[in-house]
Structure 1
Amino acid sequence: MNNLSFNQIRAVVFDFDGVILDSAGIKSEAFPALFSHRPEFAEQILQHHLENQGISRYTKFEWIYEHLFQESLCEAKSLELGAEFSKLVFDRVVQAPFVPGAPELLQKLQRHDIQSFVASGTPEDELQIIVNRRDIQDFFIGVEGSPKTKASIVQSIQREYGYSSDEMMFVGDAVTDYQAAVETGLFFVAVDTPDMHDFWKQGNVLAVQDLNVMVEALSPVNANSK
């Protein structure tokens, strides 16, 4: 599949932040804020987050403590950081605007009987609350997040619903999304950002400015029909 087409596609897996909601920047601001007591590491903390978007925040906490602070991070402190991080981002994410075209695409996929799933690095319980608060839960067959990896979520969907890799598509905005798609053999569509534009271009990855492009591509002619 060299071009954006929904031929044979029966299921689409979406990342969430930056793909469904325009909320990726909120998380990027929160990491330096969470560690504002260590301003000497602010730039490195932000850079690590940007290079590892889609990975669990708890994994990032471990890296920050081990590689920057050179301290051990106990489970209790990690959970405390996670709770503080949620306080920084939760309300803002709930109120974040949709990525342009996201509601229309979800509606159109549903009309064409193409199932939608979420595979996110956000903690699953928090993610499901956000999805419910935004009243978009009925568009998704499954909403899953960390500590599961995105590749394992895709593989679980394939086992449960019997989809082959050729029948699925992954839509994401980060390297971890792309890696999960490659690992599981799914066609990948990137939602482009200035930070990732060169990466997608160098890798010859199909990148779209927003989801309106996908709405236009999903027509009765090339959509899966049953």
Structure 2
Amino acid sequence: MVKTIFWDFDGVIMNSMPIRNKGFELVLKDYPSTEVAQLMAYHLSNGGLSRYVKFRYFFEKIRKEINVTDDKILRYASMFSKVMLKELKNPDLLIDDSLAFIKSNYGRFDMHIVSGSDQTELRQICSSIGIDQYFSTINGSPASKTEILKELLNRFEYQTQNCVLVGDSINDLSAAKSFGIHFIGYNNPALMSLSDSYLESFREF
């Protein structure tokens, strides 16, 4: 029996991926386009990873820079966040299907956002567009999804058999399986053959 739902945010609650794609391109516009293209390929295939991981991958793995400091990563993450806060405080970007389910089942399930997006930024966005009230907690990076899930499971003493995680990426699936949480794929047909369950629409839930 499902009692708790952990929600990914980007691509599940908000159609924000095109804007996040644009954000990486804008922040890295002074670097060679071939290098940025490699970062974008990594970004698109690792939707659940945080920007901190992706920027570090860009400088260390793609550009082969040595001794990349945390301050440098934080500086680029901050630049990225400014773009996101400007562009994502837009309720028109919310996905109607999942939002309708969240609103109609608020109180029936204990719901949390577990995202790879920056936590401070994510909370500002959710508050600005008026959806923060539906979630017990809103969680994001720099903590990883597995770290967030571990903390929530311990803090609220949830039984994993009563939990599901709704996500649109392989990283979401991996995080759920790390704790034996049932995974529901959404908004990414590539997950149909990999996930425990897949929803075309929340009318099927």
Identity %: 23
Report the counterpart of residue 174 of structure 2 in structure 1. Answer: 179
| Higher mean C-alpha deviation, range 72-81 or range 120-129 | 72-81
State the distance in 2 between where 1:174 and 1:204 align. Answer: 10
Q: Relative contact order: is structure 1 or structure 2 higher (C-alpha 8 Å, sep ≥ 6)?
A: 1
Q: 1:13 — aligned with what?
A: 6
**What letter corresponds to residue 179 of structure 1 in structure 2?**
S
Q: CA contact under 8 A between 1:32 and 1:45: conserved in structure 2?
A: no
- 1:91 is matched by which residue type in structure 2? K
- Residue 57 of structure 1: which of 51, 62, 87 is its match? 51
Provide the C-alpha distance between the structure 1 equivalents of 2:58 and 2:103, rounded to a whole number of angstroms: 40
Query: What is residue 4 of structure 1 aligned with on the other side?
Result: none
Is the 2:27–2:80 contact (alpha carbons within 8 Å) kept by the matching residues of 1?
yes
Residue identity opposite 1:20 in structure 2: I
- 1:172-223 CA-to-partner distances (Å, cap 9, x unmatched) read 1111111111111111111123xxx23x1342543333xxx32x245xxxxx
| DSSP 3-state at the match of 1:110 | coil
Q: Distance in 2 between matches of 1:139 and 1:58?
A: 27
Quote the residue 1:126 is aligned against: 121
Could you tell me which residue of structure 1 aligns to residue 106 of structure 2? Answer: 110
* Equivalent AA in structure 1 for residue 27 of structure 2: L
Flag the 1:202–1:104 CA change in 2: closer, same or farther, 3 A: closer
Q: CA RMSD in A?
A: 1.7
State how far apart, in whole Å, the 1-side matches of 2:192 and 2:140 are. Answer: 28
The count of corresponding residues between Structure 1 and Structure 2 is 202
Question: Within the alignment, does 1:203 sit opposite 2:194 as a pair?
Answer: yes
Q: State the partner residue of 2:96.
A: 100
Are the counterparts in 1 of residues 184 and 195 from structure 2 also a CA contact under 8 Å?
Answer: no
Q: Distance in 2 between matches of 1:130 and 1:27?
A: 14
Distance 1:152-1:204 versus aligned 2 partners, 3 A rule = closer
The one-letter amino acid paired with 1:207 is Y
Task: Provide TM-score, normalisation by structure 1.
Answer: 0.83
Q: Deviations over 1:129-172 (max 9, x none)?
A: 11111111110001111122212222222222222111011001
- Give the match for residue 62 of structure 2: 68
Q: Is the 8 A contact 1:94 1:134 kept in 2?
A: yes
Q: Which runs of 5+ in 2 are unaligned?
A: none
Cα deviation, 1:37-82, whole Å, max 9, x if unaligned, reads 2212122111010121121111111111111111132222222211
Task: Note the residue ranges of structure 1 that are not aligned, 5 or more in a row.
Answer: 1-7, 219-226
What is the letter of the counterpart of residue 172 of structure 1?
G
- Deviations, residues 78-124 of structure 1 (Å, cap 9, x unaligned): 2221121112222222115211222211122214x211100011111
Alpha carbons of structure 1 residues 205 and 166: separation in structure 2 relative to 1, 3 Å: closer
SS class of match (2:192)? helix
Instruction: Measure the CA separation in 1 of the matches of 2:172 and 2:166.
Output: 8
Question: Which is worse superposed, 10-19 or 154-163?
Answer: 154-163
Instruction: State whether structure 2 residue 72 is matched by structure 1 residue 81.
Output: no
The SS at the match of 2:65 is coil
Q: Distance in 1 between matches of 2:128 and 2:192?
A: 35
Give the letter for the 2:155 counterpart: E
| Paired letter, 1:9 | V
Q: 1:222 corresponds to which residue?
A: none
The one-letter code matched in structure 2 to 1:35 is: L
Is the CA contact (8 Å cut-off) linking 1:109 and 1:116 kept in structure 2?
no
Structure number, greater radius of gyration: 1
